[in-house]
Amino acid sequence: MSTGNIQDTSVDFEKKLRGYLFGTACADALGRPVEHLTLEQIQKKYGVKGILEVEPSASWTDDNQLMLVIARSLLRGAECEISELMEYIAQELVLWLDEHDLGAGSTSRGAALRLKDGIHWSKSGIKSKTCGSLMRVGIIGFIYRNDPEKLIKAALFSGRITHSHTVLDAASIAGAYAVKLALDGINHEEMFESLHGVTEGISQEFTDALKNSYQIAYSGLGDEEALKKIGQGWYANETFALAYFCILRYPKDYKKAVQTGVNITGDSDSVGSVAGGIIGAKLGIEEVPASWTEALKEKEKLEEMVRPLLEKYFQISDNKMRS
């Protein structure tokens, strides 16, 4: 890829990157107030349609916080071999322990504490199906969009550093690969074969959830009934399946997809953030409500990541083309 081509496409990919970053963060912030509520409790508090708008000065959760941990790691070493990149991720996870606790799960925090105690990253993961590694991997799909082989390896091992389970192996790959497919302009319904292909044989639980999500999305069931059939999202196979359902149902409507994802009995913020990141990357920042991005309490943290991540993306893509 020539420098000229890089310059020609930088504006478009900045919009896509902003769509991913703010799409993830806004959805996470929308879901945060209702994460531990049942759908009935959400509707009682916010009305029959549930929570619909990001509240002023809204904070995101550990989901977006940990995505930024991976982003900082990629800025330090995306061009490195996977083993060296993983050392950077391990270091950043240890540093993350000193950040304000935004609701981190026991698996991610426990694994980070194991890293702090000197346990090697290849042995730090805790056997768990919770979604802590899935919700942070989308940025890997952006950086390695043009290097699918490295994308899959980076997503896989970045998940294993905290979550040692085949469900998470598959979910982490799918979460990053879906962002790559979104950037490639692949329609959400056409993603199914590719997602199935890159995760096939890893976890039957994940494969079943992916197929179930796709089938239910095109059934005659209403959103509420359909989402209940898919699950609550506390486990990564269900988290991804719920998020995928939302973008299949509303492929051109970021706001509706995210609203659908958070108004559930379950892990509202994680389902929302996974869906928001994928559809945000596909549609770009223009489709993320400006009122939502403005409402984010720490939006400057996202802004300051845009230029470095964009430069890293083109560096990695250029290196791949030259190799």
- Give the DSSP letter string of 134-151: GGG-HHHHHHTTT-HHHH
pLDDT averaged over every residue in the chain: 95
Residue 316: half-sphere exposure toward Cβ, Cα within 13 Å: 26
Contact 200, 207 (CB under 8 A): yes
- Selection from 155, 184, 187, 186 nearest residue 171 by Cα: 155
* Whether residue 10 has pLDDT greater than 80: no
Three-state secondary structure call for residue 163:
strand
Rounded Cα–Cα distance for residues 64 and 136 (Å): 7
Six-digit token pair at 56?
């002023």
User: Any idea which residue has 């081509």 for tokens?
Assistant: 5
Per DSSP, the residues of 13-37 read: HHHHHHHHHHHHHHHHHHHGGGTTS
User: Any idea which residue has 């230029």 for tokens?
Assistant: 307
Q: Which fold has domain 13-48+57-317?
A: ADP-ribosylglycohydrolase fold (1.10.4080)
What confidence category does residue 26 fall into, taking pLDDT thresholds of 50, 70 and 90? Answer: very high
Rounded Cα–Cα distance for residues 223 and 229 (Å): 10
Radius of gyration of the CA atoms of the chain, in A: 18
Contact 198, 186 (CB under 8 A): no
Annotated domain spans of the chain: 13-48+57-317
- 252 — alpha (psi -120 to 50), left (phi > 0) or beta? alpha
Read off the pLDDT of each residue in 162-173 and give the average, rounded to a whole number.
98
pTM reported for the whole predicted model: 0.95
Read off the pLDDT of each residue in 157-177 and give the average, rounded to a whole number.
98
Three-state secondary structure call for residue 131:
coil
- Selection from 62, 107, 69 nearest residue 90 by Cα: 69
Amino acid at 219: S
pLDDT score recorded for residue 9: 65
pLDDT digits (tens, 9 = 90+) for 60-90: 999 999 999 999 999 999 999 999 999 999 9
Three-state secondary structure call for residue 43:
helix
- Residue 58's φ and ψ, nearest 5 degrees, are -75, 140
What confidence category does residue 6 fall into, taking pLDDT thresholds of 50, 70 and 90? Answer: very low
- Give per-residue burial for 280-309: e unless 16+ CB within 10 Å, then b: bbbbbbebbeeebbebbebbeebeebeeeb
- Selection from 162, 168, 197 nearest residue 180 by Cα: 197
Six-digit token pair at 234?
């506390």
103, exposed or middle or buried, with CB in 10 Å at 0-12, 13-18, 19+? middle
* Whether residue 230 has pLDDT greater than 60: yes
pLDDT score recorded for residue 242: 98
